[in-house]
Amino acid sequence: MSLTNAHLHAVCRPAARAPSEPLCDTETVDLVSDLLKTRQNISPKRLVEPGPSAEQLQHIFEAAAAAPDHGLLSPWRFVVVSKSRRIQLGDVFALCLIDRDPSATLEQIEAAREKALRAPLLVLAVAKLGAIPGDIPEIERMVSVGAAIQNILLAAHGMGLGGGLTSGQALHTERMSRFFDLHQHEKAVCFINIGTPSKRKTPRLRPTVDTFVSTL
């Protein structure tokens, strides 16, 4: 499924209208609903070229900027790992593994290195946390980070691309923070892998609404 430009235009660039007027026609509403429900995590192993074009990437990051953001703090930033830095990132993954398991086998080390090389596009999502003036707690800022990440995944999905999140122990190490030059109150959240899906998984059963919604 892929949203057409007309759909995106209707959804993203609404003409002036009364607040109660629907944003778009029912067909587009259904399409957007399908978009939300059919997103799925695609493993980086199944993400192949082509990745997003420069124009698509711009739209993807603009979607991130539309995340809800209490206090308008933009408590997130995203670091695109350029192709030329992938090998170095692979070294960081390998060294992080050796740091925590000096007896790691060559095969395990190579598998760790591979994590940096798989998807056509690799982006680190960073949360900007720490004490700030005002009263927006960290948990609310983290919600905003998650929403920005979700918007990225949905934007990519809408373009017919696939996205997968990856994390792991290496992410939260001093070595990784240094590689990405994270500031004191910044936290690496996860990697966002984007590319063309070579294969999709069988859709998983989603939790039914009654299991997570109650009425007070």
Ligand X SMILES: Cc1cc2nc3c(=O)[nH]c(=O)nc-3n(C[C@H](O)[C@H](O)[C@H](O)COP(=O)(O)O)c2cc1C
Residues that bind ligand X (CB under 6 A): 40-41, 165-168, 189-190, 204
Question: Which run of H or E residues covers position 77?
Answer: strand 76-80
| Tokens describing residue 140 | 């609310």
Q: How near is the Cβ of 134 to ligand X at its closest, in Å?
A: 26
Give whichever of 10 and 115 is closer to ligand X, judged by the CB atom.
115
10 or 76: CB nearest ligand X: 76
CB of 42 to ligand X, least distance (A): 8
Residue 41 DSSP code: B
Cα–Cα distance for residue pair 186/77, rounded to 1 Å? 9
Residue number, 28 or 193, with CB nearest to ligand X: 193
CB of 21 to ligand X, least distance (A): 33
Please name the residue ranges forming H helices in the chain. 5-12, 26-38, 54-64, 83-100, 106-114, 138-158, 174-179
The CB-of-158 to ligand X minimum distance in angstroms stands at 16
Other residues' Cβ atoms within 10 Å of the Cβ of residue 162: 26
Residue closer to ligand X by CB (options 14, 160) is 160
